[in-house]
Amino acid sequence: MKQITKLLFVFLALAASFQMNAQEMTITGTVTSASDEAALPGVSVVLQGTQQGTQTDFDGNYTIEANKGDVLLFSFVGMASQAITIGDSSQINVVLLDDSESLDEVIVTALGMKKEKKALTYSAQEVKGDELTRVKQTSAINSLSGKSAGITITKSSSGVGGASKVVLRGNSSTTNNDPLYVVDGVPMLNSGNGQNGDSGRGIFGGTEGNRDGGDAISMINPDDIESMTVLKGASAAALYGSQGANGVILITTKKGRDGKIAVNFNTSFTVDNVTSLPELQTQYQSNSVGQPITENGRVTDPKSWGEKASGLSNTVDDFFNTGYTSINAISISAGNQKAQTYFSYANTYAEGVMPENRMVRNNINLRETANLFNDKLQLSASINLSDQRIWNRPINGLYSNPLTGLYLNPVGIDLNDYKDFEYFNTSTNMMDQYATSFDENIQQNPYWLTYRNPSKDTAERVLANVTLKYNITDEFSLTSRLSYDKSFFTFDKRLYGGTDPNLAPATGRYILEKTENTQQYVDFIANYNKQISDDFGLSLILGTSLTKYKIGDQLFLDSGIGTGLTYPNEFTIANFSDTKTIYQSVSNREVQSVFGAANFSFKNMLFLDVTGRTDWSSTLVNTDSESFFYPSIGITGVLSEMFDMGDGISFAKVRASYAEVGKDIPTYATIPLNSIPAGQNNFQKPQFGVIEGESLEPERQKSFEIGTEWRFFHNRLGFDLTYYDTKTTNQIFLIQAEPNVQGYVQNIVNAGEITNKGIELTLFGKPVETDNFVWNSAINYASNDNKVVSVHPSLQDGTAIINPLGVNGYGYALIEGEDFGSIRGRSVVRNDNGVAVVTDDGSGGFTLESTDVETIAHAQPDYTLGWNNTFEFGNFVINFLIDGKFGGDVVSVTEAVNDFYGVSKASANARNKNGGMIDVVDTNGNAQQMTAQNYFLQTGGRAGLLGEYTYSATNVSLRELSVGYNLMFQNGFVENMRFSLIANNLFFLYKDAPFDPNIASSTGIGLQGVDIYGQPTTRSIGFNININF
Amino acid sequence: MKKIIKYTLASLIAVSLVNCTSDFEDINTNPNGISNESLTQMNNHIGGSFTPMFLNVVNATPAWNYQLQQGLLGDVYSGYMTPPTPFAGNVNNMTYALVDGWNGFPWSDAYGSVMPFVLDIKNAVELGGDPSGDKFVHLANIIRVAAMHRVSDIYGPIRYTKFDDFATTGEYDAQDVAYQAFFDDLGAAIDGLKDFEGDIQFAPFDLSNLGGDIAMWRKYANSLRLRLAMRIVNVNPTLSKTQGELSLRSNAGLMTTSDVVISTGFIHPISVISGSWGDIRMSAEMESILTGYGDGRIEKYFNPSADPALNGNYKGIRMGIDITAKSEYVEHASVGEVIETETVTWMTSAEIHFLLSEAALRGWSDTGGDAKDHYEMGVKASFAQHGVGGADAYLADATSTPNNFVDALNAANNINYQSDVKIAYNAGGTNEEQLEQIITQKWIAMFPDGQEAWSEYRRTGYPRIFPVVVNNSGGTIDTDIQIRRINFVSSEVNTNGENVSTAVGYLGGPDNGGTRLWWDVAGSNF
């Protein structure tokens, strides 16, 4: 409350001091290029701290209204920006230096250090905040897709507020492939509450479904982001040691600026509609049609293998709503040279496409920066509060999922009759579910699941940061940062009595989860910079840090499926009639680190980087060493400085680097203890342990990369090319236990080798540039060749299972010699002509011959391509992004189950052809026929032959489109206004799979490349208004 | 200025190098875990280890685990129950396509929840050095035999005698070696526990109705020995008789008046599988025999069919038939009130009477009555167990025979019961005829313990279980000879391949469902 009061006070103070300055004058001038003294058209001229600005014309001339003392910022792609304070003169001519000639273009790198981009010895790609918010998504990270080479982003199927799976340069680890997020120099805790990080709950999904608990990155207000830098390789991330193995995404947030008060208001509103729905049939009705329906709604046959009939319809479309997302954000920046304030507030409200799915989020951010003691001491403090509530977050999986009952509804039985999802059960004197069937426990009334199995996810987050920097001399400074990051999650699910008794007892079931994640971080860094001579420069860093984690600190309270609740449908824990299913868990970890870096520069053309870091991790107790060391070395040569390359080449450099990073081992792995598992009344022995005589060590990744960057014709054209080769060894595997006396089900071992080799190419240019038309274009291409070279030697067939096949048809494993992530299943055996082979079971029935369990798909793309274009003419700006993923295969359990129930269009098509018979051949080679129904009952279903449901994951989509119009106001309260029409996920230019392959069933390690009744993808269309005051 | 720099750097390095990692051990210890040391309080390191064993000889929870440990193996192969559900497109255990993803559970339950806990108890007792702890080792060994003979009766060779030593734990015993070890363990327990009779230290940990009474546990161990002795009668009649007569003569006595029932605290899993899930129903054999005999126990074992077309009859499903949809047979007779308890029965007194009856038939000494006496006592014990009256009239019925099976939906599944075995004991019949009567009644009495019933069927060939209609075994299981075992589990093949190869050698046949176990001898029982 105190915080809110304080924030309100600041807000009011800022508003009160709001006033207009009327002493405007007209400034004119010409902008030219330093290298050839030619006039530069299209240079952006902006009043610092505002969005007010203009561009130079074809002759390099500009005119702008400004006040004395204002600062004008001149910027142009590939050239060094310049800031000029307006004095008495109204004529300001500017000469811009080519980027290569300037020292100004800096980029934020590891530990928040700013470095000249040209000195980098590794690949780093910066994406500016406005690119991320042009077509706004509720999670800023999703906006990165297609905008940086080598980053693969897969959204979860849970819709608004869901987590994202982000992979840089391919999967390399068996435990976790999430990059590290670093906000303003401090590593951020991205743990959510749920599947993020674990392997998903499998095909069934359980009572809660494969639930996405969200992640912390999605709770950041996209409007607060100044820029994101993607550090893909180990070299860039080596200073993060055990956290850097999966690459790093650095986020720089906005801060207050010196100058007059700037207020920005942004509102966006999009309408969301489902696309990529499964194709269902309306030709063959269920045998239930015309049969009696019982009091509780049960029909005689839940499947749809009956007669052909006309006039059938399906009402799947009716079930989904038109969703909408509304994001309103305001930010205020103000300050003087001593102190600056940035404040923002954002409100996000979304109604999902699934009924009763809503999300509301509020973000408040306050950041103070100050320069004290003659700028000797720089202080920055920020506090970030987020509050998010999601009702009925969509899940995937077969159980508890409204979509199964929806799609599988017997054809010809009107789902509208089931909108009234309950009836009064006179024997229990309470309401009970009215449903067509509970077949296989995967069918329930979708409306019942929506209204009588409601869930609510709450997430609250506090992130507080303090940074102190003291400049002892011009060359020597000390920095210390403190951060406290805490999230509170509550998950509340209520299953009313009448729910499928497999999932909830007759009295109902109540699940309440309370989880906290905490990260405390402190570091202390000494920085020394010295230009030793005209030719030699040196920069040294030495630092230490301490991070404490308390993740998944959870109370799990579940009334269970035993006796459930004492009094029906009273959802409070005092009403639990047994307490077998309650437990506590937490994962504690502490990492202490010492790190150092040395950078040498020679004549501003040759740069050498050496870094080293040692981490001590608490997870390594009882192993051979509690610490591990991560080195990196890199070198860059700026060719365009070394040689005269002519006018055409503005900039050229080559770079090479080598690094070793890693990852510590899972918490508690070295101290196995007994536990009391949920649902049992007795203790359980440790489920996994180290193999007798072995020890564990951290996972290690060695990587090498070389790259080159070229720019031509005053940066009209350029490219950045990188080749990398990484080898990850000592992976942590949980494998089936060797025979043991401890009762371990699994052994935890270091083993295996996974390699990733790839090419990343960024091509950017300005193909057209005239007085009133500019076309900017950028292509991001990345290919990755990913191989599991070896797994643990004890796994005799070279297979490490992640999701076992169990009683279903889908499995996920890592297999030697194959790409990372082999999707496993069985397929129909076919003869040379592709005809399915059957055996005659002796009673005239045919059984399809099936293969053994084998690899049926690898979900990862071979290469990705993003093509981003901006057209500017006059005040109009059009932007579109085409995003493509090529290669890889995905599997649809949805289609398999739809086929099994006879509701899929494919099942109707097969019945329409060939008299409803499918040609097969028996084991003796004789041609035979089996009914389509018999065929699909064998290939389909959750335990079916999923090899038949494999589709190419290749897809190309028009991911983003925006049409913006800029309005400038010369004299007024409002400075400028931008109005944009925006669209996201407009359509697929190409897609083979029956669902959107860019949506993941799990953002954890398992359940990749498979759709199990996930929420269909949505297309969003709307508008965005941005106003600067 | 230089000084400041120097001191700063020095202190920075100092801070870094004196990294305080002394509390890492604490941080990396799961605060919600329970250490072995902690478990020594109130002797839970010994006593608490019994709980998982009690709950996993026959798995008590979750129901799907039971379903895979036994529900889709012994319970169906014994002819007790059949699922109406065409799991995996009807290509599954019921149609002899053995599903590896299911069939590893009897193994993992035993090696996760029984074997290591027995070893823990042994180690704890050894460490304690108190000879009064020996009773716990004997009790643990009794439960271990109760669990592991079931596992061996599924797969054949198991890891048993060499389990306790890390170096040899992966090695298998041939089934005859394992059975000899079972006899040794039981014999040692029966003898060793004699001195502890009256000791009540086990009482707080005993989940069974034996109430921690050591005398009762001796009785149970001795009864178990009789069961196992009879199991090997065809393959090694000498050892069988030796061990059997040891039981008959033992001062421990036999469980002739009391059943062995475990209070699990969880509703019987079959109740969930049959009731909530609708995934198990009455089998064709149960229908044929119980309705043919007019057996009153049918009302306890099953509920009348829910399908109105079946007129409230007890209608069963034949195993291994063509089923396209669960809805076809789901409204046949479901399992009745016998499983509506939070208990699991390990052994019935009726079974002991039937064992005694067979022992008498085989001419073993000290059976305390002839075959007919014990046969009738067995039937009466079973009627009494289920609270059903009319046992005398039932036993006097010399005409009723099992009915032929008529499938309610598909005549292709109709089959005649291959025997006219009757209820009233015919002491004048051949040995085989008498044995068929004994085993048929024993089969009825042991319901719903399908694992034991399947083993006894394989040993004796009784009752006359119907062959499958659909055989998806690819020729490895002969339809008429029927399934004899389950192949070794895939996790073992994956992680313990060499030892599994040796174990396959012990089998004397390929590692599939068609190979007979050691005690399973084709041909006559006499």
Cβ neighbors of B304 (< 8 A, separation 6 or more) are B310, B312, B313, B314, B333
Write phi, then psi, for B293 (nearest 5 degrees).
-85, -5
B325 touches chain A (CB under 8 A): yes
- The partner residue sitting opposite B12, judged by closest CB among A524, A738, A841, is A524
Placement of tokens 């004492």 in the chain: A566
CA A342 to chain centre: 27
What are the helix (H) ranges across A276-380?
A: 316-319
Question: Do residues A734 and A747 lie in contact, with contact meaning Cβ atoms separated by under 8 Å?
Answer: yes
User: Token digits for B131?
Assistant: 């000879």
A374: distance to nearest CA of chain B, Å?
Answer: 17
- The pLDDT score that the predictor gives to residue B203 is 93
Radius of gyration of chain B (CA): 26
Residue contacts between A and B (CB atoms, under 8 Å): 233
B68 and A807 within 8 Å at the Cβ level: the answer is yes
A592 touches chain B (CB under 8 A): yes
> What is the distance between the alpha carbons of residues B261 and A775, in angstroms, rounded to a whole number?
82
Task: Please list the residues that pair with A377 across neighbouring strands.
Answer: A372, A470
Question: Do residues B48 and A682 lie in contact, with contact meaning Cβ atoms separated by under 8 Å?
Answer: yes
Burial class (CB in 10 A: 0-12, 13-18, 19+), A89: exposed
B12 and A543 within 8 Å at the Cβ level: the answer is yes
The CA–CA distances, whole Å, from A504 to A562, A838, B164, B186 equal 8, 41, 41, 43
B119 and A794 within 8 Å at the Cβ level: the answer is no
Find the helix or strand (DSSP H, E) in which A183 lies.
strand A180-183
Question: Do residues A171 and A975 lie in contact, with contact meaning Cβ atoms separated by under 8 Å?
Answer: no
Inform me whether the pLDDT recorded for B135 exceeds 60.
yes
- The partner residue sitting opposite B496, judged by closest CB among A621, A739, A933, is A739
Within B404-514, strands assigned E span none
- The pLDDT score that the predictor gives to residue B353 is 97
A344 touches chain B (CB under 8 A): no
B326 touches chain A (CB under 8 A): yes
> What is the distance between the alpha carbons of residues A453 and A447, in angstroms, rounded to a whole number?
9
What is the reported pTM?
0.83
More confident residue, A581 or B296: B296
B34 and A673 within 8 Å at the Cβ level: the answer is yes
A584 and B32 within 8 Å at the Cβ level: the answer is yes
Cβ neighbors of A568 (< 8 A, separation 6 or more) are A428, A430, A497, A506, A507, A508
Q: Sign of dihedral through CA atoms A497, A501, A506, A508?
A: negative
Which chain B residues touch A735 with a CB distance below 8 Å?
495
Question: Mean pLDDT in chain A?
Answer: 85
Helices (runs of H) and strands (runs of E) counted in chain A: 10, 53
What is the spatial order of strands in the sheet that A854-858 belongs to? A799-803, A811-815, A822-825, A854-858
Average pLDDT over residues A225-231: 87
A1021 touches chain B (CB under 8 A): no
Cβ neighbors of A850 (< 8 A, separation 6 or more) are A826, A827, A828, A829, A945, B91
- The partner residue sitting opposite A741, judged by closest CB among B34, B119, B494, is B119
Q: How many CB atoms are located within 10 Å of the residue A551 CB?
A: 20
What are the helix (H) ranges across A349-507?
A: 402-407, 446-452
The CA–CA distances, whole Å, from A276 to A279, A280, A592, A993 equal 9, 12, 48, 9
What are the helix (H) ranges across B91-174?
A: 100-103, 105-113, 115-128, 134-155
Confidence of residue B5 (pLDDT cuts 50, 70, 90): low
- The partner residue sitting opposite A933, judged by closest CB among B86, B324, B499, is B324
Choose, out of A408, A563, A673, the residue to mutate when testing the contact with B (most B CBs < 10 Å). A673
Radius of gyration of chain A (CA): 30
ipTM beyond 0.85? no
- The partner residue sitting opposite A739, judged by closest CB among B159, B327, B472, is B159
More confident residue, A93 or B183: B183
- The pLDDT score that the predictor gives to residue A51 is 66
B160 touches chain A (CB under 8 A): no
> What is the greatest pairwise CA distance in chain A?
102
- The partner residue sitting opposite B116, judged by closest CB among A682, A735, A743, is A743
B475 touches chain A (CB under 8 A): no
* B177-206 pLDDT, tens digit each: 999 999 999 999 999 999 999 999 999 999
Choose, out of B30, B38, B476, B488, the residue to mutate when testing the contact with A (most A CBs < 10 Å). B30
Question: Do residues B88 and A794 lie in contact, with contact meaning Cβ atoms separated by under 8 Å?
Answer: no
User: Token digits for A1011?
Assistant: 């759709």
* A732-775 pLDDT, tens digit each: 888 778 888 888 888 888 888 899 999 999 998 988 888 788 89
Which chain B residues touch A440 with a CB distance below 8 Å?
85, 326
- The partner residue sitting opposite A843, judged by closest CB among B30, B113, B412, is B412
The one-letter code for the residue type at A996 is: D
User: Token digits for A722?
Assistant: 């990188």
Average pLDDT over residues A334-351: 91
A294 touches chain B (CB under 8 A): no
Average pLDDT over residues A528-533: 88
A507 touches chain B (CB under 8 A): no
Inform me whether the pLDDT recorded for A320 exceeds 80.
yes
- The pLDDT score that the predictor gives to residue A1021 is 93
* Short-list A478, A587, A594, CA closest to A546: A594
**% of residues, chain A, pLDDT over 90:** 42
HEC letters along A911-951: HHCHHHEEEEEECCCCEEEEEHHHHHHHHCCCCCCHHHHEE
Question: Do residues A498 and A433 lie in contact, with contact meaning Cβ atoms separated by under 8 Å?
Answer: yes
What are the helix (H) ranges across B411-480?
A: 431-446, 450-460
**% of residues, chain B, pLDDT over 90:** 80
Inform me whether the pLDDT recorded for A715 exceeds 50.
yes
Burial class (CB in 10 A: 0-12, 13-18, 19+), A1003: buried
B495 touches chain A (CB under 8 A): yes
Task: Please list the residues that pair with A465 across neighbouring strands.
Answer: A382, A483
- The partner residue sitting opposite B8, judged by closest CB among A303, A526, A941, is A526
Average pLDDT over residues A1011-1018: 88
A546 touches chain B (CB under 8 A): no
Which chain B residues touch A843 with a CB distance below 8 Å?
322, 412, 469-470
Rounded to 10 degrees, the C-alpha dihedral B249/B253/B254/B257 comes to 140
- The partner residue sitting opposite A671, judged by closest CB among B8, B29, B412, is B29
B491: distance to nearest CA of chain A, Å?
Answer: 7
B28 and A618 within 8 Å at the Cβ level: the answer is yes
- The pLDDT score that the predictor gives to residue B1 is 52
Interface of A with B in 467-486 (CB under 8 A): 472-473, 476, 478
B223: distance to nearest CA of chain A, Å?
Answer: 28
Average pLDDT over residues A394-412: 91
- The pLDDT score that the predictor gives to residue A9 is 45
Confidence of residue A228 (pLDDT cuts 50, 70, 90): confident
Confidence of residue A145 (pLDDT cuts 50, 70, 90): confident
- The pLDDT score that the predictor gives to residue A644 is 82
A376 touches chain B (CB under 8 A): no
- The pLDDT score that the predictor gives to residue A843 is 62
Write phi, then psi, for B49 (nearest 5 degrees).
-70, -15
